[in-house]
Amino acid sequence: MAEKNSPSSPALTPAALTEDEILFRDNIRQFAEEKIRPLVKAMDERSMFDPGLIGQFFQLGIMGIEIPEEYGGVGGKFFESILAVEELSRVDASAGVVVDVQNTLVNNAMLRWGNEEQKKRYLPRLASSLCGAYALSEASSGSDAFALQTKAELKGNEYFLNGRKLWITNAKEAGLFVLFATVDSAAGYKGITAFVVEKEFPGFAVGKKEDKLGIRASSTCELILEDCRVPKENVLGEAGKGYKIAIETLNEGRIGIGAQMVGVARGAWEYAAKYAQERKQFGHAIADFQGVQFQLAQMATEIEAARLMVYNAARLKDAKLPFVKEAAMGKLFSSQVAERVTSLAIEIYGGYGFTKDYPVEKYWRDAKIGKIYEGTSNMQLATIAKLVLGGNNSF
């Protein structure tokens, strides 16, 4: 069922894009409007992602954007992944995060740290049919990402993994997990190791699915490892170097979450702007009143600023230039903007905005996660402070 008052076209001006990027973005936008928007309300209510959509994501090529053509991928840029996440999230943040985790976390980790045998085994499947997930968080390991309790013990040619993972995005849909465990608790973060774990490995199970405030169609589950047997050759990178993989992958993933939040804010703004021109009070459309005009103008300005920050971080990453500070700033600011914009969108709708018959309350619920996952806002501020204050106090 299509959502009420669905906007037919975007009203905000995009930051400068090349002709190829515009074509790519427009294709994703058309797909999102035609294939995803009619399913959004039902997926949110059922707390279940439509399984047919993931197959369509693979057919469209957006699950393997940076995977080289030699492995069956598109051979595109990181920036294109960011465009895809933004356009999908404009319609549905759950769709955006499925594609985001696949590209910015799972594929990225495999491309950067996988050996040639691992790449040949997994990248063609990740580009064509295999959904991935990134398993770092645990009950006692959130912002303190390296307080891991999941243990890995080498016995012969296999590691035996034992523990629990929490808050794992894409867990229900995924067939492959980049999963972190410690091979030596006494070594602290230097014992952390990354493993490539297939869903079918003995001792692996997907547990409870969380009942969430927002991005409800996106599965967030517990993983249960009870003597989960992982071949020695499925260590990603080197044993004891998982901390480096986790930090550097999440630095890139934050740009994706920034794009998701920009998309959420854009979607809410477009609904609010359209509604303000239709809703009449005191004989006029409420968009005729300066108070509403100023709200919409402020919202549009903040969205554009957030978008430019996210795009800049993505461009820096593609250019192989330092981007950690910019990624943290983009993620921090875009999540703040998304929360403000979606809240104001509800107010512009008035009482209607507070009901589930209209779409803006969902955008508000979806926005909240932006300040939490892939590094809370406080963790982003800590990163930014370290980088801007730790050198010459210039940026």
Distance, CA of 229 to CA of 67 (rounded, Å): 28
172 contacts: CB under 8 Å, gap ≥ 6: 49, 206, 209, 219, 221
Listed in sequence order, the residues at least 6 apart from 264 whose beta carbon sits closer than 8 Å to its beta carbon are 89, 90, 93, 96, 338, 342, 363, 366, 367, 370
How many Å apart are CA 373 and CA 393, to the nearest integer? 29
CA dihedral angle for residue 236, residue 239, residue 242, residue 245, rounded to 10 degrees: -50
Q: Are 269 and 276 a contacting pair, CB within 8 Å?
A: no
CB hemisphere CA count around 183 (13 angstroms): 20
CATH T-level topology, domain 133-240: Butyryl-CoA Dehydrogenase, subunit A; domain 2 (2.40.110)
Alpha-carbon gap, residue 271 to 6, rounded angstroms:
7
Q: Catalytic site residues?
A: 374
Beta bridge partners of 154: 159
**Which candidate, 272, 271, 273, 262, places its Cα nearest to that of 338?**
262
**Domain ranges across the chain:** 19-131, 133-240, 244-389
Per-residue pLDDT for the chain (395 aa), expressed as one digit of tens each? 344 555 544 445 556 899 999 999 999 999 999 999 999 999 999 999 999 999 999 999 999 999 999 999 999 999 999 999 999 999 999 999 999 999 999 999 999 999 999 999 999 999 999 999 999 999 988 888 788 999 999 999 999 999 999 999 999 999 999 999 999 999 999 999 999 999 999 999 999 999 999 999 999 999 999 999 999 999 999 999 999 999 999 999 999 999 999 999 999 999 999 999 999 999 999 999 999 999 999 999 999 999 999 999 999 999 999 999 999 999 999 999 999 999 999 999 999 999 999 999 999 999 999 999 999 999 999 999 999 998 655 66
d(CA 16, CA 308): 9
How does 374-393 read in b/e, with b if 16+ C-beta sit within 10 Å?
A: bbebebbeebbeebeeeeee
Task: Give the CATH superfamily of 19-131.
Answer: Acyl-CoA dehydrogenase/oxidase, N-terminal domain (1.10.540.10)
Question: What does the block give as tokens for 301?
Answer: 């300005």
CATH superfamily of domain region 244-389: Butyryl-CoA Dehydrogenase, subunit A, domain 3 (1.20.140.10)
Which long-range contacts does 16-20 make (Cβ < 8 Å, 24+ apart)?
17/83
Angle, alpha carbons 132-260-212 (nearest 5°): 70
Q: Is this model's pTM higher than 0.85 or not?
A: yes
